[in-house]
């Protein structure tokens, strides 16, 4: 159907374009023919060719010349030949002749234009023949100006109006001839000849058609608007009715010698029939349009209701699918959360391994606060031999599933290289190298910060290495000051970026009562209501303040102070805290 409508529209457009070329060509050709026939009549002495009937005044030769020039200019413009200057030149010549004639009539000058064609004119009543009428000269001004406008930049703006004016004047003169009462006959002003009126009517129509559908008056009649449809239907009908009524009143009484009352009654009956026809046509056109619009509206409304019903069904189906997908996703995320929690230490090791927890040289505790279903923070505590334990903590860039997957990979890599777990720097170096290879193969950019410390009870020593992570805090028993575990104030780069990075192992002594606190940056990168950050230095101050408290209370107080600062119960980032307390060494 859309293809058919498009083809139909193209066909109508081509037909309309052909009409706008054919009709002007015929009218312009007839205008030239009128001029040539008039010349032949004057040359041969057969003035009937110039006057149509012996009782009518003939067209003047100067008028015939102007019509020939105008017709040629219109055809040249229509055919769009190379001589584009010719229509303007011909219009200029006609305009000059018309203006000269008007000057002769108004101010008495004699340019001798008509005398060059007919030196000794005969008289038609009180006026000479072979002379251009003043009304003819005025109408040629309109026609020539219209041809000028037609060849300008905006032909539709003025050409159609001048053409319509010339057409109306020609039509008025023709109506006078049709009624048997030609205009200005019997006076001292040269009347317009019948053939001249026909020439103006034809050339005026040509101008109107060449101005196109965008020009006045055609734009009011063309198109699918109700106004255009009504004008096309009723203007010809009303015009015909007025002309017929005038003809009946002017010609019928004289021809059949009837009583004027009978003529008036006949006109009344004819007009009543015409009014009834007009009302019927208006009702048919307007009512038909309204009915078609109402039918189209009802059809569109029905289609819209059907579409809405279909859309609602689709939305409901899609909503059910989304709910099922969301439910499945939530279940999978819940399982992932449970698996990630299961990967964290469920029971801390004792040192040595075969002693009860209360006799262990090292005691551990942890706090874990993920912001989402799965987290990018991870820690592990595992034994190293009989007299040492390793504490590993990491923070993967970002949140969610991607980060959680990287934490699982790091956990597996740590276990894979467990044979070097006693050397923190070597362990981080190997894990970083393997992680960088995996991320490069996956064509993804991710990184993780890690801190790894080995508590060696036998040597009373802490060995550690740092991969871009916040330094662990060493709270020494006695003075309670929190010291960072760092070598020369520097740490290695985050893991997963530089595969050739080498991480150094540093050491520090430890004694009974010391505590070590490892944490991720989510613990101190919080803001209060004004946007002020809880800095790492403030965290050190808080840790020092509560250093004398028992281990569990110590960590609870630290976490509570951070939450009070942010005035919120939850953290913006994942938080992981691992603590260790030394019970004895040796």
- Give the model confidence (pLDDT) of 458-492 as tens digits: 999 999 999 999 999 999 887 777 888 987 757 88
What are the tens digits of pLDDT across the range 67-114? Answer: 999 999 999 988 876 677 889 899 999 999 999 999 998 888 888 888
Q: What are phi and psi of 452, to 5 degrees?
A: -130, 130
- Report the pLDDT averaged over residues 53-61: 91
Report the pLDDT value the prediction gives residue 524, as an integer from 0 to 100. 81
243: tokens are 């002309």
At 217 the pLDDT is 79
Q: In terms of DSSP H, where are the helices of 45-118?
A: 48-51, 61-79, 86-107
Of 176, 172, 143, residue with least CA distance to 160: 143
Q: Is the pLDDT of residue 232 over 90?
A: no
60: DSSP letter: P
Q: What are the structure tokens assigned to 454, written together?
A: 């080995």
DSSP-derived secondary structure letter, 418:
G
Distance CA 222, CA 216 (A): 10
In whole angstroms, what is the distance from residue 395 CA to residue 397 CA?
A: 7
User: What distance in Å separates the CA atoms of residue 351 and residue 363, rounded to the nearest whole number?
Assistant: 9
The pair of structure tokens assigned to 49 is 């060719």
pLDDT at 534: 84
Tokens at residue 227, please? Answer: 């106004």
**C-alpha to C-alpha distance for 79 and 85, rounded to whole angstroms:** 13
For 430, what's the count of Cα atoms within 13 Å in the CB-facing half-sphere? 15
Tokens of 345: 């230490």
Give pLDDT, residue 2.
47
Instruction: Look at residue 3 and tell me whether its pLDDT is greater than 50.
Output: no
Query: For residue 27, is the peptide bond before it cis, meaning its omega torsion is within 30 degrees of 0?
Result: no
Q: Which residue's structure tokens are 């049709």?
A: 178
Q: CB-based burial of residue 256 (10 Å sphere; 0-12 exposed, 13-18 middle, 19+ buried)? A: exposed
Looking at residues 364-390, what average pLDDT do you find? 87
pLDDT at 425 over 90: yes
- The pLDDT score that the predictor gives to residue 139 is 94
Predicted local confidence at residue 15, as pLDDT: 59
| 50 or 224, which is more confident | 50
Q: Which tops the pLDDT comparison, 143 or 254?
A: 143
Choose between 513 and 245: higher pLDDT.
513
**Number of residues in the chain:** 586
Burial of 514 (0-12, 13-18, 19+ CB in 10 A): buried
> What is 522-585 written as a DSSP string?
GGT--B-TT--B--HHHHHHHHHHTTTS-HHHHHHHHHHHHHHHHTSSS-SS-EEEEEEEE---
More confident residue, 250 or 41: 41
Q: What pLDDT is attached to residue 261?
A: 60
Residue 367 — very low, low, confident or very high, per pLDDT cuts 50/70/90? confident
Whether the pLDDT of residue 10 is over 60: the answer is: no
The least confident of 174-178, 289-293, 345-349, 415-419 is 289-293
Task: State how far the Cα of 470 lies from the Cα of 464, in Å rounded to an integer.
Answer: 13
What is the CATH code of the structural domain delimited by 347-582? 3.60.40.10
Residue 340 has pLDDT above 80, yes or no: no
Spatial CA neighbour of 67 closest among 246, 179, 193, 190: 193
CA nearest neighbour of 31 among 89, 85, 83, 90: 90
Q: What is the pLDDT of residue 229?
A: 72
Bridge partners of residue 581, in order along the sequence? 363, 515
Question: What residue spans of 179-223 are helical by DSSP H?
Answer: 194-211, 218-221
| DSSP string for residues in 344-404 | S-SS---SSTTS-GGG-SEEEEEEEE-SSSS-SEEEEEEEETTTEEEEEEEEESS-HHHHH
Q: CATH 3.60.40.10 residue ranges in the chain?
A: 347-582
State the greatest distance between any 2 C-alpha atoms of the chain, in Å, as a whole number.
151
175 contact partners, CB below 8 Å, separation of at least 6: 243, 246
d(CA 136, CA 127) in angstroms, rounded, equals: 15
Cα 476 from Cα 582, distance rounded (Å): 10
Q: What is the mean pLDDT of the chain?
A: 84
CB 199 within 8 A of CB 170: yes
Could you tell me which residue, 1 or 91, shows the higher pLDDT?
91
What φ, ψ does residue 368 adopt, rounded to 5°? -135, 115
| Amino acid 482: pLDDT | 84
Joined tokens for residue 21 = 């070329």
Task: Determine phi and psi for 404, rounding to 5 degrees.
Answer: -65, -40
What Rg do the C-alpha atoms of the chain give, in angstroms? Answer: 53
High-pLDDT (> 70) share of the chain, %: 87
What pLDDT is stored for residue 368 in this prediction? 85
Q: What is the pLDDT of residues 518-564, one digit of tens each?
A: 998 888 888 887 878 888 888 888 888 888 888 888 888 888 888 88
| Highest mean pLDDT, choosing among 24-38, 77-91, 202-216 | 24-38
Do the bridges between strand 473-475 and strand 515-519 make them parallel or antiparallel, or are there none, so unpaired?
antiparallel
pLDDT band with cut points at 50, 70 and 90 for residue 17: low
pLDDT reported for residue 11: 55
**Cβ atoms of residues 122 and 128 within 8 Å:** yes
Report yes or no: 539 and 457 within 8 Å, Cβ to Cβ.
Answer: no
3-class DSSP assignment, residue 228: helix
| CB-based contact 431:417 (threshold 8 Å) | yes
Q: How many percent of the chain have pLDDT more than 90?
A: 35
More confident residue, 164 or 269: 164
């Amino acid at each position: 159907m859309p293809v058919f409508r498009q083809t139909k529209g193209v066909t109508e457009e081509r037909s309309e374009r052909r009409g706008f070329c054919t009709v002007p060509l015929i009218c312009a050709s007839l205008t030239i023919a009128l001029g040539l026939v008039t010349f032949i009549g004057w040359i041969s002495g057969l003035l009937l060719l110039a006057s149509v009937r012996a009782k009518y005044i003939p067209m003047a030769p100067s008028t015939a010349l102007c019509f020939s020039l105008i017709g040629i200019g219109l055809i040249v413009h229509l055919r769009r030949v190379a001589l584009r200057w010719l229509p303007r030149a011909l219009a200029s010549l006609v305009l000059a002749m018309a203006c000269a004639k008007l000057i002769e009539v108004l101010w008495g000058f004699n340019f001798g234009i008509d005398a060059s064609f007919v030196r000794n004119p005969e008289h038609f009543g009180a006026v000479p023949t072979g002379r251009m009428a003043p009304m003819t000269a005025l109408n040629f001004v309109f026609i020539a100006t219209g041809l000028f406008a037609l060849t300008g930049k905006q032909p539709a703006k003025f050409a159609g109006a001048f053409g319509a004016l010339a057409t109306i004047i020609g039509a008025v003169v023709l109506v006078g001839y049709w009624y048997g009462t030609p205009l200005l006959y019997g006076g001292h002003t040269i009347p317009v000849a019948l053939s001249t009126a026909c020439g103006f009517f034809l050339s005026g129509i040509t101008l109107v058609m060449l101005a196109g559908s965008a020009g006045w008056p055609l734009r009011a009649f063309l198109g699918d608007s109700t106004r255009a449809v009504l004008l096309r239907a009723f203007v010809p009908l009303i015009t015909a009715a007025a002309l017929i009524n005038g003809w009946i009143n002017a010609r019928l009484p004289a021809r059949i010698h009837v009583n004027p009352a009978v003529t008036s009654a006949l006109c009344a009956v004819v007009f009543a029939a015409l009014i009834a026809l007009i009302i019927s046509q208006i009702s048919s056109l307007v009512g038909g349009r309204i009915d078609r619009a109402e039918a189209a509206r009802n059809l569109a409304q029905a289609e819209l209701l059907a579409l809405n019903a279909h859309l609602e069904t689709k939305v409901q189906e899609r909503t059910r699918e989304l709910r099922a997908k969301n439910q499945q996703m939530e279940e999978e995320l819940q399982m992932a959360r449970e698996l990630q929690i299961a990967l964290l230490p469920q029971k801390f090791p004792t040192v040595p391994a075969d002693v009860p927890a209360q006799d262990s040289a090292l005691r551990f505790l942890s706090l874990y606060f993920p912001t989402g279903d799965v987290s990018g923070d991870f820690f592990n505590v595992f034994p190293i031999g009989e007299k040492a334990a390793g504490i590993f903590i990491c923070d993967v860039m970002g949140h969610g599933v991607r980060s959680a997957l990287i934490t699982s990979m790091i956990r597996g890599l740590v276990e894979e290289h467990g044979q070097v777990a006693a050397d923190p720097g070597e362990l981080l170096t190997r894990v970083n190298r393997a992680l960088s290879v995996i991320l490069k193969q996956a064509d993804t950019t991710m990184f993780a910060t890690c801190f790894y410390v080995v508590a060696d009870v036998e040597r009373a020593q802490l060995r550690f290495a740092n991969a871009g992570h916040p330094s662990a805090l060493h709270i020494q028993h006695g003075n309670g000051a929190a010291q960072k575990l760092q070598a020369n104030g520097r740490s290695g780069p985050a893991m997963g970026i530089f595969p050739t990075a080498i991480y150094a192992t540093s050491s520090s002594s430890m004694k009974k009562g010391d505590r070590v606190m490892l944490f991720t940056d989510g613990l101190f990168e919080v803001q209060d209501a004004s946007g002020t950050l809880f800095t790492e230095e403030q965290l050190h101050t808080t840790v020092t303040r509560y250093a004398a408290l028992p281990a569990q209370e110590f960590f609870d107080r630290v976490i509570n102070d951070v939450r009070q600062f942010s005035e919120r119960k939850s953290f913006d980032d994942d938080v992981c805290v691992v603590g260790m307390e030394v019970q004895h060494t040796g």
